[in-house]
Chain A
Amino acid sequence: MMDRSNFVLCGLGGQGILFMTKVLSETALNKGYNVMCAETHGMAQRGGSVVSHLRLGDVKGSLVKNGSAHFLLSLDEVEGYRNLPFLSKGARMYINADPAKGLRVEVTGYLEKKEILYRSVQASAIAREAGAPMATNLALLGYFAAFGNGPLSQEDLRNTTERISPDRFKENNLRIFDAGFERGLEGKER
């Protein structure tokens, strides 16, 4: 990872974007990075589109500029498309969508042109099958962790998840993180 990294995390209100952002930012802080995030609160949280920005390194602004995100993690297919303009050339995109159906061709054409690595994973299904549909965010995070994205390793992200999850969700969260990670290892092979 370079000295500055920009993440965009998106989805719908109630999907746990803020928690996912927290796991990433706390992990980065432990690794000695300065962190800066921007969150969505208020009216937009009532089932509307939600976006979090996370910037690592020495920056003053909390917002990621269009064309400068290194990573896009989307808990919803449509919201992933909506935030496409944030992606930089050579970025990586992980999206909660059905890999069998594939992303829309207009989008994949653009991603390929921009040399963006993209992976779809049924994060909701992973979470649902593990009995905790509310933990889709952790399934996607575990999946992301499998790709070895710089200093935010699977181990670090998992440790943070364990540390900051409320006790009653801890076991579930870790199980689903692990399930996402396993799926990610398979996805990496492709």
Chain B
Amino acid sequence: MTRQEIFLGNGAVALGLVESGCQVVTSYPGTPSSEILPEVIRLVKTEDLDTYVEWSTNEKVALDNAFAAAIAGKRAACCMKQVGLNVAADSLMSAAYQGTVGGLVIISCDDPGPHSSQTEQDTRLMARLAKVPVFDPSHPQEAREMVGTAMAVSEEFRVPVILRPAIRVCHARQNIAFESIEKNENKASFKKDPQRWAATPRFRLVLHGELNKKLTGIAKKFEGLSQYNFHNLEPDKTYPLGIIAGGVPYAVIHDILAEEGREDVPVLKIGTPFPFPEGLSDEFMSACEKVLVIEETDTLIEYLLGERDKVLGRRSGHVPSEGELVPQVIHRFLNQVLRELNLAGLNADPDEEAGDIVNNLQLPVRKPTLCAGCPHRAAFFAIRKTRPKAIFTSDIGCYTLGINLGAVDTCLDMGAAITMASGFYHAYDQDGAAQPVVATIGDSTFFHSGTAGLLNAVYNGARFILVILDNLTTAMTGMQPTPALGIRADGSEGKAVPLERAVAGCGVDFIEIVDPYNLKHMTSTLKKAAEYIREPEGGIAVIISRHPCLIAYKEEAGPRKKFTITEDCTECNFCLDRFECPALYHDEELGHTNIDASLCSGCGVCVEVCPKGAIVEVEGE
């Protein structure tokens, strides 16, 4: 029975996975990839499938797990964001050599912009580095189809295959028709072959040769994959300009040319940028005097083309080398290229006037902030207050926003709060200087990449305070459970691994659990921790700052307390500057600070923050 549904791009990927008979899906959440696994789980339930799903503790763990299933002959996938693939890179490089038995599709979601990432790195280049094929979808429907093809290619050539949807695919929504889905009854059966699955360097050379041979075969296959790689040249015709585009920029350029009715500009669409369909591109280029290459996020296709004097793109300075290629950006440089080649320009003109007006309005920049009532805010306030001279190392998650409270100085990568804290400690200690360091890391990030760094710091004698901001969820990416909760991806019961046990297992002797809403207790514990790290027998002090995320646990939250600001408020702005709760604002009419009741969560932490005691609870409400 055919049904139609509006799928999130990540849902379309999930649909492609279950349709292709994928039996194992692992993931670690990260924007823009986070919804793939939940969408798989939804489809497993509605279609009555038995796909194994897990939130793994990190991306390398996810890939290793999926790889094992694949070499046991099952169809498997793992999903992550592009920087997650860095974490899984060790696994990926080796898996490419060893190959697979069942299909293995790695979905790594790119973030041109970047909207929610540390870098704009391009997964296609990681695929080239690892020597594995990569598919680059232009829209959700194509992503869904490509998953199936990628799975089949992986199984045919026995090699992991990457699908690289960019954020405008992942977080697009599109109507997609689909049929009922069959279970894949294939059983696990691992065939021992130590020269492959435990290959020593001598056999690695052999495997490398095998991989190269596979790539030659795949390149040939990709030449004929005309649903993803195609052009619209007319026979025996030549063109002054052609466009080569892949991924999301192809969708944009397709729409622009269609709206403009520009049949005089042919397009070569590249859906499989590696191994590159050279024959098809040579054919296209021979019919064009110049070609403009439009690709995200970095440069790959442009480097792979022959006849370099024909190529316009990033190297010629026409295409920006950073930032998202949104439609108006593509429109602008396409128009420039058309004019330079004395061709008719584009009709539509996204005029600059509105942009100038908006700039002149000097609108306030709406920077993201921690939610009103966020327990992290209370923790950061206490940290900044008690350890004002410390270096504040932090990490990836909602709590990076502690930067607004002056309590975050560094944010490098997952787990770096701890490793950089030990790095700073030793750098100063070497000089005989006692520089305080306070590290903050979230609960999920700690499980992802915290333990190895903490163990290292303990072992090598670093001394700093580590505050684990434990809100009992992975908040930034959409409230996925952590190992401490004992709830698995599909909602079933798992074995809980308490955070404090993991910390103790890393060799930490000072562990205190505090509710940061109790600012007095939080500050006294921070002081105690500061003393501990100075003691001769002291070391690393870990404070687990534990209070549930207000968004994840809003159902459980009790009735809200109400607060008001009295005439004792002297407009010192201390609360606005140092606590920066979105519910506190300067009220022009009132002449002092006020509380926005629609935003206030009723946490009451600001009562302790106000130096004048002007914030009081409204009794009897």
- Interface of A with B (CB < 8 Å)? 4, 12-13, 21-22, 25-26, 29, 34-49, 59-68, 78-79, 81-82, 84-85, 87, 104, 106-107, 110, 128, 133
Residues A48 and B368 in contact, CB atoms below 8 Å apart: yes
* Complex: A104 Cα to B360 Cα, angstroms: 12
B139 and A61 contact, CB distance less than 8 A: yes
Contact of A47 among B175, B350, B354, B371 (CB under 8 A): B371
* Contact status B173-A41, CB under 8 Å: no
Interface residues of B in 521-562 (CB under 8 A from A): none
What is the CB-to-nearest-CB distance from B73 to chain A, in angstroms, rounded to a whole number?
36
Question: Is B567 part of the contact surface with A, judged by Cβ < 8 Å?
Answer: no
With contacts A13-B368, A60-B254 known, is A67 near B351, CB below 8 A?
Answer: yes
- Interface residue ranges of B340-383 to A (CB < 8 Å): 348-351, 353-355, 357-358, 360-361, 363-364, 366-371
In the bound complex, do residue B477 and residue A42 qualify as a contact, i.e. CB atoms below 8 Å apart?
yes
If the complex has contacts A41-B32, A46-B369, are A61 and B252 also in contact, measured as CB distance less than 8 A?
A: yes
B210 located at the interface, meaning its Cβ lies under 8 Å from any Cβ of chain A in the complex: no
- Asked, given contacts A60-B139, A60-B255, whether A47 binds B369 with beta carbons under 8 Å apart, the answer is yes
Does any Cβ of A come within 8 Å of B6's Cβ?
Answer: yes
User: CB distance B173 to A25 under 8 Å?
Assistant: yes
* B350→A49 contact, CB < 8 A: no
**A42→B139 contact, CB < 8 A:** no
Of B278-286, B323-331, B488-496, B587-595, the one contacting chain A is: B323-331
Min CB gap A107→B, angstroms: 7
Question: Is B248's beta carbon under 8 Å from chain A?
Answer: yes
B598–A133 touching, CB < 8 Å: yes
Q: Please give me the residue from chain A that is nearest to B326 by CB atom.
A: A63
Please name 14 pairs of A and B residues whose Cβ atoms are closer than 8 Å in the assembled complex, sorted by A: A26-B6, A37-B172, A38-B168, A39-B171, A41-B31, A46-B401, A48-B367, A48-B368, A61-B139, A65-B327, A66-B350, A67-B354, A78-B366, A79-B366
A36 touches B174 (CB 8 A): yes
Map CB proximity to A onto B248-263 as digits: 1 under 8 Å, 0 otherwise.
Answer: 1011101110010000
A134, closest chain B residue (CB)? B598
Complex CA–CA separation, A84 to B368 (angstroms)? 21
Q: Known A34-B175, A41-B116, A68-B350; judge A63-B4 contact (CB<8 A).
A: no
Q: In the complex the two chains form, is B368's CB within 8 Å of A41's CB?
A: no
Residues on the A chain within 8 Å of B8, using CB: 39
A132 to B366, CA, bound (A): 24
> Nearest Cβ distance between residue B476 and chain A, in whole angstroms?
7
Q: Is B398 an interface residue (CB 8 A)?
A: yes
Flag if B6 contacts A62 (CB, 8 Å).
no
Q: State whether the Cβ of B115 lies closer than 8 Å to any Cβ in chain A.
A: yes
Distance, CA A78 to CA B256, complexed state (A): 29
Q: Is the pair A42, B168 in contact by a Cβ cutoff of 8 Å?
A: no
Check B350 against A67 for contact (C-beta < 8 Å): yes
0/1 string, B162-186, CB within 8 A of A gives 1: 0000001001111100000000000
Q: Is the CB of A43 within 8 A of B368?
A: yes
CA distance A31 to B255 in the complex (A): 22
B507 interface residue (CB < 8 Å to A): no
A42–B349 alpha-carbon span in the complex (Å): 32
What's the nearest-Cβ distance from chain B to residue A109, in Å?
Answer: 8
B138 at the interface (CB under 8 A from A): yes
**A43 in contact with B476 given A61-B251, A65-B331, A65-B350 (CB within 8 Å):** yes
Q: In the bound complex, do residue B350 and residue A84 qualify as a contact, i.e. CB atoms below 8 Å apart? A: no
Residue pair B348, A67 in contact (C-beta under 8 Å)? yes
Q: Least Cβ distance of A66 to chain B in Å?
A: 4
| A interface footprint on B130-142 (CB within 8 Å = 1, 0 otherwise) | 0000000011000
Interface residues, chain B, with chain A CB atoms under 8 Å away: 4, 6, 8, 31-32, 34, 115-116, 138-139, 168, 171-175, 248, 250-252, 254-256, 259, 326-328, 331, 348-351, 353-355, 357-358, 360-361, 363-364, 366-371, 398, 401, 476-478, 582, 598
The answer on a CB contact under 8 Å between B173 and A110 is no
Cα distance A48–B172 in the bound complex, in angstroms = 19
Closest to A29 in B: B175
By the criterion CB–CB under 8 Å, are A62 and B139 in contact?
yes
Question: B168 — which chain A residues lie within 8 A by C-beta?
Answer: 38, 61-63
B255 and A59 form a contact (CB under 8 A): yes
Give the residues in chain A near B354, CB-CB below 8 Å: 66-67, 84-85, 87, 110
A121 to B377: give the CA distance in the assembly, Å.
35
7 further contact pairs, Cβ within 8 A, besides A35-B174, A41-B478, A128-B598? A29-B175, A40-B115, A60-B250, A65-B350, A66-B331, A78-B366, A84-B358
Say whether A65 contacts B328, CB under 8 Å.
Answer: yes
**In whole angstroms, what is the CA distance A23 to B32 when docked?**
23
Known: A67-B349, A78-B363. A47 touches B368 (CB 8 A): yes
Contact A82 B358 (CB under 8 A): yes
Q: Which residue of B lies closest to A12 (CB)?
A: B366
Complex CA distance for A29 and B370, rounded to whole angstroms:
36
Measured CA separation A72–B355 after assembly (Å)? 16
| Given A46-B368, A67-B351, A61 and B598 contact (CB-CB distance below 8 Å) | no
Which chain B residues border A59 with CB–CB below 8 Å? 251, 255
Bound-state Cα–Cα, A102 to B138, Å:
42
Residues of B within 8 A of A60 (CB): 138-139, 250-252, 254-255
Contact of B357 among A26, A61, A63, A84 (CB under 8 A): A84
Residues of A within 8 A of B248 (CB): 61
Cα(A2)–Cα(B364), bound, Å? 35
Q: Which residues of B contact A82 (CB under 8 A)?
A: 358, 363
Cβ contact within 8 Å between B4 and A49: no
Query: Considering the complex of A and B, which 10 residue pairs feature the smallest CB-CB distances, nearest first?
Result: A42-B31, A42-B116, A65-B327, A66-B350, A60-B251, A62-B172, A67-B350, A61-B251, A37-B173, A46-B368
**B115 to chain A: which residues have CB within 8 Å?**
40, 42-44
B358 touches A49 (CB 8 A): no
Contact A62 B251 (CB under 8 A): yes
Cα separation A73 to B326 with both chains bound (whole Å): 21
**Once the chains bind, are B6 and A25 in contact (CB under 8 Å)?**
yes
When distances are taken between beta carbons in the complex, the residues of chain A under 8 Å from B358 are 81-82, 84-85
Q: Which of B259, B350, B364, B401 has the most CB of A within 10 A?
A: B350
When the two chains form the complex, which single residue of B116, B255, B357, B478 contacts A107, counting CB atoms closer than 8 Å? B357
Tell me which residues across on chain B come within 8 A of A13, comparing CB atoms.
368
Give, as a whole number of angstroms, the nearest-CB distance from A144 to chain B: 19
Report whether A78 and B364 are in contact in the complex, using a CB–CB cutoff of 8 Å.
Answer: yes
CA distance A60 to B143 in the complex (A): 12
Roughly how many angstroms separate A12 CA and B6 CA in the complex, as a whole number? 24
Instruction: Please measure, in the bound complex, the distance between the C-alpha atom of A26 and the C-alpha atom of B327, giving whole angstroms.
Output: 25
Q: A36-B139, A42-B32, A85-B354 are in contact. Are A48 and B252 (CB under 8 A)?
A: no
Within the complex, what minimum Cβ distance (angstroms) separates B445 from chain A? Answer: 15
Closest B residue to A53 using CB positions? B172
> Nearest-CB distance from A46 to chain B (Å)?
4
**Distance in Å: Cβ of A105 to nearest Cβ of chain B:** 11
CA distance A81 to B360 in the complex (A): 11
Docked-complex contact B31 and A66, CB < 8 angstroms: no
Centre residue among A26, A38, A43 by max chain B CB count within 10 A:
A43
* Contact yes or no, B368 A65, CB < 8 A: no
- Do B364 and A39 touch (CB < 8 A)? no
Per the bound structure, the CA–CA distance linking A45 and B551 in Å amounts to 12
